[in-house]
Structure 1
Amino acid sequence: MRYLLFALLCLAGTAHAAPAKAYLTLIIDDLGQSPARDTRTLALPGPVTLAIMPDTPHATAFARQAHKAGKTVILHMPMDPATGPYAWHPDTPLPELEQRLGAALAKVPYASGINNHMGSRMTAQPLPMAWLMAELQRRHLFFVDSRTSAATVAAAKAQEQGLASLSRDVFLDDVRTPEAIAGQLRIAVELARRQGSAVLIGHPYPQTLEVLERELPRLKAQGIEWVEIHQMIALRSNQAMAAHGAGGRYRASAGGQ
């Protein structure tokens, strides 16, 4: 009986054990505005994904520079409440949304995918989000749901289409102090250990870059594998994490930051 209890305890421990490996992917948003900040971001060690805004003065030049440096480039697509010539709004007809998407992609050459800039209103719109995911599938691009709203349906629509996609787990720098940013990075590390992976989004603020320059080289010693975004897409296989859905399926409306 004693050995049976021991065996059951061992099995219970195994069932709740942390994943064997922990993976992390990092995206930096809002690039293309400042050559100094862009260059400093580009110099970060490892596979940083660079999300470039189309309506910035250096978008095209920086996309080419980043691609030449071997980095993954994505389009940081403005969505309502963002404004500007490329921004998507709920009342905009689909042909105009298509034109704006094409124009934005032309401004950010070598983009492998897109993520939403802002978009708390737009990503809650089922019809245009479904159209977008079908169009990205046609263009062989992936999608990252930045999850700027609790009402987002973007990831759910991507999953319905079978589109290669990810959802953000942690924002690094809602609070722009080195202490808060370092704390968010620790949260991401613990989340990666608990669920096997974490997708982080940050911005090229001086405080964020300062923390990343110091902490990214230490990840491996903490047992964290920092991987390129395409590898993270393959690892997750379009499955939702527990915070975003149940049984690997995204909820049509889920919590965000």
Structure 2
Amino acid sequence: MGRRRLIRMPFGLIGIGIVCLMVTTGLIWMGVVDDPFGGEPTAVIPLDATIQGVTSRDIEVVEIRPSLGDDLGPNLRPEGGESRLGPRYEFLAEPADPSSEGGLSLVPDPRVSERSEYGFLPKVSSDGIRPLDAYARPFETEFTSIPKIAVIVTGLGLSRAGTQDALDRLPVDVTFALGPYGSNLDQWMQDARAKGHELLLQLPMEPYDFPDNDPGPHTLLVSLQPNELLDRLAWILTRTTNYVGVINDMGARFTTTETSVAFLFEKLKERGLMFVDKDESARSIAGRVAAANQLPFSPVDVILDVVPREDDIEAKLLQLEGIARARGVAVASASALPVTIRQLQRWSRDLEERGLQLVPVSATIDRPSEQ
């Protein structure tokens, strides 16, 4: 070829042809050869069962310990262990009818109650017996290494149908929390304890967006003077009797204000009650203040029905089980919605077969500080 003809060759088309040939060869290689990445390590995991509605965001990565026997806290260990804040079952109030189904007292124990202008207030007896000791659901186990789960159903007494549904369907180790603005609370208290349920009382506390989001006319506010806060607290604590403690209703702002929390916890300790923290604010200091004041305390790890759909509740229950297996103890709260009650009933049927145990919330007070 002459020099002129060589310069006019289609180099662009030749280059495109070479690239197409390389891409075609690579595709054929990946389609024919089983390991197109040349020996990169792989693993195959068979999935024998799936849970609808569970996604990767719903699963908490937790540490699975081979033995939990030494990490369950004094209240979950055999007698004779360390000093504990949990209930002392030797001081349980005697039921009026020892043959009753639930075996729990239905009337105020005179040792741990006193009259006030609003009604019966809980108190610590002259012998140091607390309402927590008198009204706890007895909990005994020979297998301290079994992971424990406490479930609290809140809002009972506000809806007759919802409250009756919870009483009819849920196992006795589920703890019930009565709303202070409910009707016939004393009757619901007696019905629940007659079946054996341990009780809490909901304590309305100030959220960040108060008063747009208002828990009720007797809400504990950070702006209240001590005598005003005590008056509202007394009104709430006299709505019913025979409960072991209180659980906050809202309260994201209140539980981040140290002076208010410290004052409240001092008064709850004087009354011999426990405090359960739903931790609606990530900045809650309730746990730290409770530890400093030696107040019986238990935090909620999972709120089950933030999204009240079956798939979402199943995912939260799966997360709850993972926490219990990793830490030894886990606590959940849920509202008395029909979908939640159905899911809890179904979930609790074979709980022991899955190596887990349902317990009243008072049995979780002395868990180790892992959070």
TM bucket, shorter chain: 0.7 to 0.9
Secondary structure of the 2:365 match is helix
Q: What one-letter code is carried by the residue in structure 1 that aligns with 2:152? A: I
Runs of 4+ in 1 over 6 A off after TM superposition: none
Secondary structure of the 1:41 match is helix
Would the aligned equivalents of 2:152 and 2:176 in 1 still touch at CA under 8 Å?
Answer: yes
Would the aligned equivalents of 1:35 and 1:58 in 2 still touch at CA under 8 Å?
Answer: no
Instruction: Tell whether 2:252 aligns with 1:127.
Output: no
Aligned to 2:3: none
Aligned to 1:157: 289
CA offsets 1:158-193 (integer angstroms, 9 cap, x no match): 111111110000110001101110110011011101
Aligned to 2:149: 24
Unpaired segments ≥5 residues, structure 1: 1-14, 243-257
TM-score of the superposed pair, with normalisation by structure 1: 0.83
Aligned to 2:191: 65
Q: Would the alpha carbon gap of residues 221 and 55 (structure 1) be closer, same or farther in structure 2, given more than 3 Å must change?
A: same
Aligned to 2:278: 146
Correspondence list, 1:101-140, <5 A: 101-140=233-272
Would the aligned equivalents of 1:54 and 1:75 in 2 still touch at CA under 8 Å?
Answer: yes
Would the aligned equivalents of 2:215 and 2:250 in 1 still touch at CA under 8 Å?
Answer: no
Aligned to 2:200: 74
Give 1:96 shift: 1.1
Would the aligned equivalents of 2:245 and 2:273 in 1 still touch at CA under 8 Å?
Answer: yes
Query: Could you tell me how far apart the structure 2 residues matched to 1:212 and 1:192 are?
Result: 16
Instruction: Tell whether 2:344 aligns with 1:212.
Output: yes
Aligned to 1:48: 174
Query: Could you tell me how far apart the structure 2 residues matched to 1:121 and 1:139 are?
Result: 24
Give 1:105 shift: 1.1
Secondary structure of the 2:244 match is strand
Give the stretch that moved more between structures: 63-72 or 173-182.
63-72
Q: What one-letter code is carried by the residue in structure 1 that aligns with 2:370? A: M
Q: What one-letter code is carried by the residue in structure 1 that aligns with 2:343? A: V
Query: Could you tell me how far apart the structure 1 residues matched to 2:363 and 2:323 are?
Result: 18
Query: Could you tell me how far apart the structure 1 residues matched to 2:65 and 2:334 are?
Result: 31
Aligned to 1:89: 221
Give 1:41 shift: 1.1
Aligned to 2:122: none
Number of aligned residues: 225
Correspondence list, 1:240-255, <5 A: 240-242=369-371
Query: Could you tell me how far apart the structure 2 residues matched to 1:18 and 1:184 are?
Result: 24
Output the aligned Cα RMSD: 1.6
Give 1:125 shift: 1.1
Q: Would the alpha carbon gap of residues 51 and 31 (structure 1) be closer, same or farther in structure 2, given more than 3 Å must change?
A: same
Unpaired segments ≥5 residues, structure 2: 1-63, 69-144, 208-213
Aligned to 1:33: 158
Query: Could you tell me how far apart the structure 1 residues matched to 2:369 and 2:225 are?
Result: 30
Correspondence list, 1:151-190, <5 A: 151-190=283-322
Q: What one-letter code is carried by the residue in structure 2 that aligns with 1:112? A: V
Would the aligned equivalents of 1:85 and 1:100 in 2 still touch at CA under 8 Å?
Answer: no
Higher helix share: 1
Give 1:16 shift: 5.0
Give 1:69 shift: 2.6
Work out the percentage of aligned pairs sharing the same amino acid: 29
Query: Could you tell me how far apart the structure 1 residues matched to 2:188 and 2:329 are?
Result: 29
Query: Could you tell me how far apart the structure 2 residues matched to 1:208 and 1:186 are?
Result: 14
